[in-house]
């Protein structure tokens, strides 16, 4: 805990830099669950998709509740890289302006699953360069000519299961998650842990890109590596580490999902 650029904000002011609209019982288009954990499968002790080239630089959502869009593009960017070996930056503004009919509300919040639904039904999402971020809502300007990636659906991980999240992260790639971010305005560096951080009151969409373990005062502490969308001058160069295997700290595994990206779909866009 320490001083950062949000330290002097009131709780209601920090809501401007969140924007995840948690719905406890979601009925989502094409919702799927996945059970991928094997009792005999040994997971790596640490994973960091940044070192594999699957994560774009940290972005900044500004004073717009568009965290859900940044989490969504981050997960799709990771899957696009895994299918093609090419890292691309996708347009959050495209999602902000164009996914209202799927349940999102621009700067007033949204859900990553709704964004994945929009991308699937729309047939793609534009590049960041062709549809740059403005931190405000505008008319939909999506163009097939500048679309860069797409998905064929999504997978929702079992609610609250950190082992399933760890397995998905190790085998699938970066995963969209939501957290209770009420206390993140006080974060500076280190492994974040707070007893009263809720696993249900989720208000901020982020991207898990890795996990590991660090020795702190003679004890091994497990952690998640999480990409935020508050700029590089926040936290650990735009990232934070969150306690892992601590009863689903801050709800990290309460609403985890990722887009399904068949290689043939991506290759058809590149032709």
How far is 61 from 136, CA to CA, in rounded Å? 10
**CB of 70 closer than 8 Å to CB of 59:** yes
Give yes or no for a contact between 148 and 25, defined as CB atoms under 8 angstroms apart: no
SS3 71: helix
Residue 198 Cα distances to 107, 181, 205, angstroms:
23, 9, 14
E-state strands within 135-256 = 147-149, 153-156, 175-179, 191-192, 204-216, 219-227, 239-243
Pairing of strands 125-126, 147-149: antiparallel
Rounded-to-integer distance, Cα 152 and Cα 119, Å: 8
Q: What is the pLDDT of residue 35?
A: 47
User: What phi, psi does 165 have (nearest 5°)?
Assistant: -65, -45
Q: What is the pLDDT of residue 14?
A: 54
Report residue 117 as tokens: 């639904």
Helix (H) or strand (E) holding 42: none
Q: Strand 191-192 relative to strand 239-243: parallel, antiparallel, unpaired? A: parallel
Confidence (pLDDT) at 42: 87
Q: Which residues of the chain have pLDDT under 70?
A: 1-40, 271
To 10 degrees, the CA torsion angle through 57, 125, 32, 101? 120
Question: What class is the 11-270 domain?
Answer: alpha beta
Structure confidence by residue, pLDDT tens digits, 208-228: 999 999 998 889 999 999 999
Q: Cβ(224)–Cβ(210) under 8 Å?
A: yes
Contact (CB, 8 A) for 205 and 116:
no
- Sort 37 into a burial class: Cβ within 10 Å, 0-12 / 13-18 / 19+: middle
pLDDT number for residue 185: 86
Residue written as token pair 């290759």:
267
Residues marked active site are found at 67, 204, 228
Helix (H) or strand (E) holding 260: strand 257-260
Helix axes 67-84, 112-122, angle to 10 degrees: 50
């Amino acid at each position: 805990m320490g001083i950062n650029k949000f330290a002097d904000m009131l709780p209601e002011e920090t809501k401007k830099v969140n924007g995840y609209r948690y719905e406890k019982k979601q009925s989502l288009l094409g919702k799927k669950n996945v059970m991928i954990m094997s009792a005999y499968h040994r997971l790596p002790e640490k994973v960091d998709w940044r070192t594999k080239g699957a994560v774009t630089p940290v972005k900044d959502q500004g004073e717009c509740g568009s965290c859900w869009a940044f989490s969504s593009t981050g997960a799709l960017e990771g899957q696009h890289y895994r299918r093609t070996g090419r890292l691309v930056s996708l347009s959050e503004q495209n999602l902000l302006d164009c996914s209202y009919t799927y349940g999102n509300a621009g700067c007033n919040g949204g859900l990553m699953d709704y964004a994945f639904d929009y991308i699937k039904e729309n047939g793609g999402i534009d590049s960041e360069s062709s549809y740059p971020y403005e931190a405000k809502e505008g008319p939909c300007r999506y163009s097939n000519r500048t679309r860069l990636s797409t998905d064929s659906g999504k997978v929702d991980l079992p609610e609250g299961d950190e082992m399933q999240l760890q397995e998905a992260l190790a085998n699938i790639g970066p995963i969209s998650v939501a957290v209770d971010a009420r206390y993140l305005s006080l974060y500076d560096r280190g492994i974040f842990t707070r007893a009263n951080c809720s696993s249900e009151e989720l208000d901020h969409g982020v991207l898990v890109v890795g996990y590991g373990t660090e020795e702190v005062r003679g004890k091994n502490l497990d952690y998640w590596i999480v990409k935020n969308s508050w700029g590089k001058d926040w936290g650990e160069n735009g990232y934070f580490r969150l306690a892992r295997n601590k009863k689903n700290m801050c709800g990290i595994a309460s609403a985890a999902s990722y887009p399904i990206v068949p290689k043939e779909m991506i290759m058809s866009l590149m032709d």
